[in-house]
């Protein structure tokens, strides 16, 4: 199972990966901008703010990754920690 | 159909038949028995169907309700699709154990009393341990022993609680209760151990990834979800479950983010998903319990699907670790697509089953005005997309090119994955017929409103952005993460080792002192009574006469004084 000399799968080509980034960025922007047209029903006030979910999702993910990182400093061990 | 017989008995008989038959006959048993069970499940009417006198108790082996049938339905479907996934690759004893395990789960669904529930509960513990052992490696054997110890402990605690309730109330009925006294607390703790609730949640991520590629598919479905059912039946609205659930949700995300083993990521995300259900049961309204039941149903499908895709990868490559995998989309396109569907479903992406079920739970939090719970659940939804929705497919099927070019999944594995993928999408696109199966229909609830879809798209897509923005921080390291099980795997043996050294030293010292004391005693005795001792000497007669004379003289003197 050696890698073939040229990896020509359409998903692996650099120009396509760049296109995916561009399309994704447009979609991300659209989901926020669409809120100008579609009303998001807020249950507790702030969740109806413009782009709230986008910011909240991004921020909570950053927070969770950072918490995981800090915990990892204390709790991570080598793969074979329990082996002996 | 025999009235008193639980549909579980079909699967139990099938487990036995799998052991006794060979070849096509065995395949036929594996594929037909779950369907027969499914049929039998839908023949069970509401209410207590049968009673049996046992000792002084009225046992109710079969009791039906919408909730019980819903769980039994998904367990039977899981046995069928899991059987289809595994029947050509797994060894017969693993399949046999899996069917006995599934039988236990279906049995719990229809158990009308605590004694029946306990019997099926232990059946599950027993045969799920066998499945862990079927991993076949030394690591699987050890993990299986730890798994068995944890579940036997949980079983004993549950039994203590049941005995207490029976003695103090005289009733063995399954009915809603709150954790207010010792007995009910014991029942709650016994169930929560099976739900992988804190502090004893490490057993799940410890054992499941050690099982075989097919075994983990079965393990992912039954134990935690029967615990969810038991909680809905016994502890709806128990406030402590809200906190427990939220902890599980966050625990699952953080540990999955740190994890390198592909199936262990999925195992942590089981804890995370069950956390959503446990939290909903704690909220306890009809909407919340509908949410918990619906989410359990959807979860079994997409988590089974995710474990199948991971299983297919492990089966084809023999590798578990994200660090060794990557780039598999080239040669395993079907498995990749199915994994992505499972990943989108678990992340509750619109048009998948996760969206139509998890939003019921969020709605329940809104209805009760639980602001913190609502926002924590929303943050957790984002976190699910982060750890299971993107991380799992990304590191297994994309990221770097690992150079592996395995064949796609065998036809039966592929068929099983396609069935579950379709089910994920059907429940996501047409939720109404599914909602009618819920315990409290009709649900006055519309899953899809434009605003809600937009809200979730923002939430999820920007979590995705966060994932790629922080990719350097999420780089896979060949590490494991310590959990509470460290206390019983490392700390406890160390404490015992230290204690045994201390105790043996103390005993040594006592021994030494005793020996010295004994020696001294012997020396003294020898000095006095030995061959040269004062008291053992032969005394001359003269000195004897002298002493007698002295005694008599002093006696005489005393007499006159």
Alpha carbons B280 and B380: distance in angstroms, whole number = 14
Identify whether residues B162 and B269 lie together within a single domain: no
> What does each C-alpha distance from B166 to A29, A59, B171 come to in angstroms?
60, 50, 5
Minimum CA–CA partner of B380 in chain A: A60
Identify whether residues B428 and B460 lie together within a single domain: yes
Alpha carbons B163 and B411: distance in angstroms, whole number = 49
How many beta-carbon contacts under 8 Å exist across A and B? 156
Angle of the B450-469 helix axis to the B353-367 helix axis, nearest 10 = 110
Identify whether residues B187 and B246 lie together within a single domain: no
Lowest mean pLDDT among B132-136, B152-156, B279-283, B445-449: B445-449
**pLDDT, tens only, B4-22:** 688 999 999 999 999 999 9
Chain B CB contacts of A27 under 8 Å are 461
Residue B20 included in any domain: yes
Contact state of A9 with B329 under an 8 Å Cβ cutoff: yes
Residue-range definition of the domain harbouring residue B517: 501-560
Residue A4: pLDDT over 80: no
Minimum CA–CA partner of A51 in chain B: B458
| B281-303 average pLDDT score | 95
Residue B279 included in any domain: yes
| DSSP E strands, B433-559 | 479-481
Query: Best mutation site among B247, B359, B457 for testing chain A: the one with the most A CBs within 10 Å?
Result: B457
Predicted local distance difference test score (pLDDT) of residue B4: 64
Alpha carbons B335 and A75: distance in angstroms, whole number = 33
Contact state of B460 with A57 under an 8 Å Cβ cutoff: yes
Residue B481 included in any domain: no
A8, B401 in Cβ contact below 8 A?
no
Alpha carbons B288 and B276: distance in angstroms, whole number = 10
Identify whether residues B506 and B467 lie together within a single domain: no
pLDDT category at B56 given cuts 50, 70, 90 is confident
Share of chain B above pLDDT 70, in %: 99
| B226-232 average pLDDT score | 96
Chain A CB contacts of B478 under 8 Å are 78-79
Buried b / exposed e over B510-534, threshold 16 CB at 10 Å, is eeeeeeeeeeeeeeeeeeeeeeeee
- End residue of a domain, out of B476, B492, B515: B476
Of A31, A65, A79, which is closest to B473 when you measure between CB atoms? A65
- End residue of a domain, out of B176, B208, B235: B235
- Tokens 């979910």 -> residue: A53
Nearest to A3 by CA among B404, B399, B321: B404
Residue B39 included in any domain: yes
Alpha carbons B397 and B406: distance in angstroms, whole number = 11
Identify whether residues B146 and B246 lie together within a single domain: no
Identify whether residues B98 and B49 lie together within a single domain: yes
What average pLDDT is seen over chain B?
A: 92
Residue B489 included in any domain: no
- Tokens 């203590």 -> residue: B160
- End residue of a domain, out of B235, B269, B290: B235
* ipTM of the modeled complex: 0.88
- Helix (H), strand (E) at residue B97: helix B92-110
| DSSP E strands, chain A | 76-78
Q: Is the peptide bond before B199 cis (omega within 30 degrees of 0)?
A: yes
| B207-227 average pLDDT score | 94
Domains in chain B, number: 3
Residue B488 included in any domain: no
Chain B CB contacts of A7 under 8 Å are 330, 401
In sequence order, what are the residues at sequence separation of 6 or more whose Cβ sits closer than 8 angstroms to the Cβ of residue B367?
B285, B287
Identify whether residues B370 and B295 lie together within a single domain: yes
Predicted local distance difference test score (pLDDT) of residue B465: 92
Predicted local distance difference test score (pLDDT) of residue B442: 63
Q: With the C-alpha atoms ordered A33, A36, A40, A46, is the resulting torsion angle positive or negative? A: positive
Residue B103 included in any domain: yes
| B241-255 average pLDDT score | 94
**pLDDT, tens only, B445-489:** 888 888 889 999 999 999 999 998 888 888 878 888 888 888 888
B388, B265 in Cβ contact below 8 A?
yes
Residue B486 included in any domain: no
> What does each C-alpha distance from B477 to A62, A74, B314, B381, B422 come to in angstroms?
19, 14, 19, 25, 35
Q: Angle at Cα A68 formed by Cα B191 and Cα B255, nearest 5°?
A: 35
């Amino acid at each position: 199972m050696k890698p073939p000399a040229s990896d020509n799968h359409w998903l692996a080509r650099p120009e396509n990966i760049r296109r995916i980034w561009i399309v994704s960025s447009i979609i991300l922007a659209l989901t926020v901008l669409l809120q100008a047209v579609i009303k998001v029903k807020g249950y507790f006030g702030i969740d109806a703010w413009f782009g709230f979910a986008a910011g909240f999702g991004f921020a909570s993910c950053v927070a969770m990754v950072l918490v995981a990182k800090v915990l990892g400093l204390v709790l991570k061990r080598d793969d074979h920690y329990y082996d002996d | 159909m025999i009235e008193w017989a639980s549909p579980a008995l079909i699967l139990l008989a099938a487990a036995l038949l799998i052991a006794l038959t060979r070849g096509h006959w065995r395949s036929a048993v594996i594929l037909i028995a779950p369907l027969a069970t499914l049929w039998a499940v839908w023949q069970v009417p509401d209410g207590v169907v049968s009673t049996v006198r046992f000792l002084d108790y009225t046992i109710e082996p079969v009791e039906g309700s919408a909730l019980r049938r819903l769980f039994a339905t998904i367990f039977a479907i899981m046995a069928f699709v899991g059987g289809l996934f595994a029947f050509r690759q797994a060894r017969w004893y693993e399949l046999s154990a899996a069917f006995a395990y599934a039988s236990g789960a279906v049995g719990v669904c229809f158990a009308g009393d605590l004694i029946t529930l306990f019997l099926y509960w232990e059946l599950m513990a027993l045969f799920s341990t066998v499945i862990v052992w079927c991993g076949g490696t030394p690591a699987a054997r050890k993990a299986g022993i730890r798994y068995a110890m944890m579940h036997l402990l949980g079983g004993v605690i549950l039994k203590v609680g049941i005995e207490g309730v029976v003695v103090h109330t005289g009733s063995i009925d399954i009915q809603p209760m709150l954790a207010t006294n010792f007995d009910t607390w014991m029942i709650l703790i016994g169930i929560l151990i099976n739900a992988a609730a804190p502090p004893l949640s490490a057993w799940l991520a410890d054992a499941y990834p050690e099982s075989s590629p097919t075994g983990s598919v079965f393990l992912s479905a039954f134990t935690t979800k029967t615990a969810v059912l038991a909680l809905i039946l016994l502890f709806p609205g128990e406030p402590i479950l809200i906190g427990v659930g939220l902890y599980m949700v966050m625990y699952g995300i953080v540990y999955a983010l740190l994890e390198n083993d592909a199936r262990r990521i999925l195992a942590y995300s089981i804890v995370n998903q069950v956390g959503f259900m446990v939290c909903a049961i704690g909220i306890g309204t009809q909407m919340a319990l509908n949410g918990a039941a619906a989410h359990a149903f959807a979860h079994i499908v997409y988590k089974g699907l995710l474990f199948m895709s991971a299983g297919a990868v492990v089966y084809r490559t023999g590798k578990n670790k994200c660090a060794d995998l990557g780039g598999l989309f080239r040669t395993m396109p079907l498995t990749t697509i199915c994994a992505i569907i499972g990943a989108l479903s678990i992340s509750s992406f619109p048009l998948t089953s996760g969206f139509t079920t998890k939003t019921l739970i969020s709605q329940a939090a809104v209805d009760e005005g639980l602001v913190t719970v609502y926002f924590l659940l929303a943050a957790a939804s984002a976190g699910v997309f982060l750890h299971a929705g993107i991380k799992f497919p990304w590191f297994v099927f994309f990221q770097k090119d690992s150079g592996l070019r395995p064949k796609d999944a065998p036809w039966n594995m592929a068929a099983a994955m396609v069935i579950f993928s379709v089910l994920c999408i059907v429940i996501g696109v047409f939720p109404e017929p599914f909602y009618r199966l819920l315990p409290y229909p009709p649900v006055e609830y519309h899953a899809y409103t434009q605003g809600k879809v937009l809200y979730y798209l923002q939430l999820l897509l920007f979590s995705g952005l966060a994932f790629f923005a922080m990719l350097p921080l999420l780089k896979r390291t060949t590490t494991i993460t310590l959990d509470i099980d460290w206390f019983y795997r490392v700390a406890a043996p160390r404490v015992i080792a230290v204690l045994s050294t201390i105790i043996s030293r103390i005993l040594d010292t006592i021994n030494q002192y005793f020996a010295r004391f004994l020696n001294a005693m012997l020396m003294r005795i020898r000095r006095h009574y030995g061959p040269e001792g004062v008291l053992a000497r032969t005394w001359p007669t003269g000195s004897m006469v002298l002493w007698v004379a002295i005694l008599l003289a002093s006696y005489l003197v005393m007499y006159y004084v």
